[in-house]
Structure 1
């Protein structure tokens, strides 16, 4: 009996030795979809000369794809139709229903700044903001069952994230406009920390992550579309749809990334998934700027260094706290 258990353990170990590296590679490749999305939305923003218009195109294309998926199944149609009733019931905090605002900010910042900053700089500042936001959300108990106190590794991760942002904007330090644009993805990253918590709560309430993602797109598209419509009516901007087919890939690329991460997390766990996807985002962004000079972004040594520092900072910040976690309910009663 013991020999059988020993044999099974060896087989499981051998499977993990082969499967886990393959899953890590797959996650890194999936992470590269994010900078691809930034590159597409950045070029749409450059063509339309408006980040708001670019974001509407991206959210619109993603919403069309999700609408087709949701309408194809009776169960998801029913779950989606229950949303107004569930919002009125107020079983979950109202802010969970507007988490799509965060995604809207990220996509808006892509259209407004990615083509000017370069994909590598954009992704590094975005990830740096997300690292800091993640630490704050963990500390406040937003989207997690237990609060995590600040400790040295987590603070170090946040400081490295700030250092990474400084490094990637150094080449443009003499151009205040460019530095100001770098603030957009950093702020978007700060806001993005609570978006997964909101989407997860909506998914639990409706019984479907697909419905949650669709609702996320509807909220983002509504906000961005309303803002664009008002600006068009005021004569501040003229809106024309892009003619190139690939300019509508921003939304689908984001959806594909979400779907792949949902599949890969089962085999890797959150920590390895987070590290591998972050590595994919940073590696992909540097490669895009380097291999596609038509995008107009130059890869500096400090840009690569900033990306590496951001990855290290993210890795340190993602490490589970060695100290005992404090339950959310315990802290809220003191």
Structure 2
């Protein structure tokens, strides 16, 4: 082994663990976002209103970023023409609906369920969704068959959901709320595929993210407007500054993941970020009870089971490697 190879190996030994730690910390932004949006929903008394505030704050940040550059302004202005061309399936343009469901479920249920339970059920739904999308060929070049490890990952995801809701089994309302993040996770499987397709079509991931926020904000805002006009709900903005951080926290998480994936690859990034989400969730519930909920032993066990299930389900086959490598190159 020559000096160059030795230096490269040493650098990799040092850098990769640091990147893993950074990814775990970045993954903790997701439960922070859930905690913030959950508190907004609790204060406003409405998950729909909370989601509008979160999407609105994120959209303002993205609008500033997009408008600051001539190239992204031009790419964004081309969206109506590209939609009319129908060069990509129409549903790709509606991927923001999935994000809307996730943020709505945060506002409606995170403060009641606790952040750990919320994140575990969300991740479990995403694991199952990812397996189904792979099987149907959504977002991958080659369809992935259901094999024993992938089925085991799905079973563990379901087991994790059951474990984290066990302490509330006698409270039907809480169990019903736990269905929301699980359904949001099921829907979220095709969102990355849709966003990536829009990014390729427009030539910019920033434009794709902005469009994602516009779609989510429009759907949630229209639903809230109709409910306000019908007298079903009254809407007022939160009076505390940190309650507007839900959208920016989500954007910061996306940006950090985009940077970290270059040094780790998709598999390690997925595992480390999932670990960060679950660790962060338990810590928030444990250290800041006002933002979360009581932590039970089965909650921690459920989070561990969810992480194991996600790890098994994330192991890609050769075909999936190719699809993901192509996706990274195009973005």
TM-score calculated relative to the size of structure 2: 0.96
Q: 2:231 aligns with which of 231, 235, 241?
A: 235
Contact 1:31-1:281 within 8 A present in 2 as well = yes
Query: How far off is 1:321 after superposition?
Result: 3.4
1:283-308 deviations in Å (ceiling 9; x for gaps): 00000000002235100000000000
Contact 2:36-2:291 within 8 A present in 1 as well = no
1:94-123 deviations in Å (ceiling 9; x for gaps): 000000000000000000000000000000
Supply the distance in 1 between the matched residues of 2:290 and 2:49 (Cα, whole angstroms): 22
Supply the distance in 2 between the matched residues of 1:255 and 1:324 (Cα, whole angstroms): 26
Contact 2:124-2:158 within 8 A present in 1 as well = yes
Tell me, yes or no, if structure 1 residue 82 matches structure 2 residue 83. Answer: no
Contact 2:113-2:174 within 8 A present in 1 as well = yes
Instruction: Determine the structure 1 residue equivalent to 2:172.
Output: 176
Q: 1:124 aligns with which of 120, 125, 133?
A: 120
Contact 1:61-1:248 within 8 A present in 2 as well = yes
1:43-122, aligned counterparts within 5 Å?
A: 43-122=39-118
Query: How far off is 1:309 after superposition?
Result: 0.1
Query: How far off is 1:146 after superposition?
Result: 1.1
1:14-51 deviations in Å (ceiling 9; x for gaps): 01000000000000000000000000000000000000
Moved more, 92-101 or 291-300: 291-300
Sort the Cα spacing of 1:50 and 1:96 in 2 relative to 1 into closer, same or farther, 3 A.
Answer: same
Tell me, yes or no, if structure 1 residue 288 matches structure 2 residue 284. Answer: yes
Supply the distance in 2 between the matched residues of 1:308 and 1:218 (Cα, whole angstroms): 35
Instruction: Determine the structure 1 residue equivalent to 2:146.
Output: 150
* The structure with more radius of gyration: 1
Sort the Cα spacing of 1:326 and 1:61 in 2 relative to 1 into closer, same or farther, 3 A.
Answer: closer
TM-score calculated relative to the size of structure 1: 0.95
Moved more, 318-327 or 198-207: 318-327
Supply the distance in 2 between the matched residues of 1:230 and 1:255 (Cα, whole angstroms): 28
1:1-334, aligned counterparts within 5 Å?
A: 6-295=2-291, 297-321=293-317
Sort the Cα spacing of 1:250 and 1:7 in 2 relative to 1 into closer, same or farther, 3 A.
Answer: same
Q: What runs of 5+ residues in structure 1 fail to find an aligned partner?
A: 328-334
Q: What runs of 5+ residues in structure 2 fail to find an aligned partner?
A: 324-331
Sort the Cα spacing of 1:32 and 1:240 in 2 relative to 1 into closer, same or farther, 3 A.
Answer: same
**How many residue pairs get matched?**
323
Contact 1:148-1:326 within 8 A present in 2 as well = no
Contact 1:149-1:326 within 8 A present in 2 as well = no
Query: How far off is 1:320 after superposition?
Result: 2.1
Supply the distance in 2 between the matched residues of 1:200 and 1:226 (Cα, whole angstroms): 26
